[in-house]
Amino acid sequence: MQSDNALKFYIDGRWVMPSGADRMDVINPANEHPFMQIAIGTIEDADLAVQAAFEAFPTFSQTSKSERLELLRNVLRCYNDRYEDIAQAVSTELGAPLKFSREAQAWAGQIHLESTIEALEAFSFDEHNGSSMITWEPIGVCALITPWNWPLNQIVCKVAPALAAGCTVVLKPSELAPLSAMIFAEVLEEAGVPKGVFNLINGTGPVVGQYLAGHPRVDMVSFTGSTRAGIIVAKTAAETVKRVAQELGGKSANIVLADADLEDAVIKGVEACFSNSGQSCDAPTRLLVPAKRHAEALEIAKRAAAATRVGDPLSENTDMGPVISQQQFDKIQGLIGVGVEEGAILVAGGLGKPEGLDIGYYAKPTIFGGVTPEMTIAREEIFGPVLSIIPYDTEADAVGIANDSIYGLAAYVQGGNLERARAVARKLRAGAVYVNYAPWDTHAPFGGYKQSGNGREYSHWGIRDFMEVKGIVGWGA
């Protein structure tokens, strides 16, 4: 699959050639072969994109709510027209099973558009407070830096609320998975987004991403990626005192309470960890089970891992495709090796590739048991299909282990007594807590505690993140 605009950037309402000659192959992780080339941007390209957004802001920021609603509805209509193209693109660039690309990856962009439209319909930009008027106004030019693991989810949950707020944007998607972002840019062009309101450039994080973060005409940076990179973005942005919203790493705990259905909780926990090849920042990668049922949990988990079908993303029978790159594969292998060295019980998977999958960045679905909280695999974000099962003695111990992390993006609680599960959920230091594998809710806020970031995305929470608050005192005088 290739895009006619693969070697171009979308700046100021048109597809333009980049200023430099650098090109990069984009690799299909299922077969390790390049399937397209993209241009790699420079700071000159970034300047042009920011200037276009800067010049478009005074007009677009003054558009009415109804005008922006009409625009977003057009974007949704055009997105739906390109839905299959988007799903195919994500499957190719990420190695995600095609069924998963259709039902989860492409769907995520669609549902964020729908949720943002619904939120904007109900959004009040003005409220009276005594004799003052409190008004919400767009923050300005926004640099959006997005990752490769959920490309449409992270692009749309930033772009849609930014446009809803009246901001103008420059998007820098991951260079590892750029095709779906280009198709999304074509969607916005088809939908009639005014020139300069949305701009897209490709490039590396250390060059283009960091330059955007420090650009004096960028008013806000919304970044999703690793905690390490997020720290660099925040430090760079601090020079110009701009707002920084970050959704960063995670090491989410999944507590199985003593009264939970152990079989159901463990099987679903394994499936949730391995979903998207384990490449989700909120994946439940630490499964906490009662110590008295630890051995039983390992047997259930072993069966669940054996039932996970790894293979060709285009096969309808595939549950899990490859990981994104050789670099990611090597990192996962290294941490699996550390888990073995530190004495964790290897329940399933392990080092190397699954049998018969020598080509492609395929990792074995791996489960460790007998993991203790101080082990590396219990503390570091692996970002692959690796689950650590940790036994606990009491409910208080489970909460303590869950909260003993530098991260706090998500947490999970499984229990037979709903009131008890709710009580545990309140004690967990995480931005999103899911009780009894509740379905994803794009109307709930999404974001992290601690080193998992700051700010909140999704629905009206996302719109507010892209706005400033102004108090006009004496409005009612």
What order of strands is seen across the sheet that includes strand 253-256?
345-348, 366-369, 386-392, 286-290, 253-256, 410-414, 432-435
281 is catalytic: yes
From the candidates 142, 157, 167, 281, which is the catalytic residue? 281
Cα atoms found within 13 Å of the Cα of residue 123, Cβ hemisphere only: 27
Q: How many Å apart are CA 106 and CA 93, to the nearest integer?
A: 13
Quick one: which of 459, 468, 470, 441 has its CA closest to 123? 459
Measured at the CA of 85, the angle between CA 5 and CA 176, to 5 degrees, comes to 60
The arrangement of strands across the sheet holding 467-472 comes to: 126-129, 132-138, 467-472
Catalytic member of 247, 273, 381, 457: 247
Cβ burial, residue 34 (10 Å; 0-12/13-18/19+)? exposed
> Which value, in Å, is the radius of gyration of the alpha carbons in the chain?
23
265-to-35, 281, 300, 326 alpha-carbon distances in Å? 39, 20, 10, 32
d(CA 159, CA 420): 38
In terms of phi and psi (left: phi > 0; alpha: psi -120 to 50; beta: otherwise), the region of 101 is alpha
Q: Which residues are catalytic?
A: 247, 281
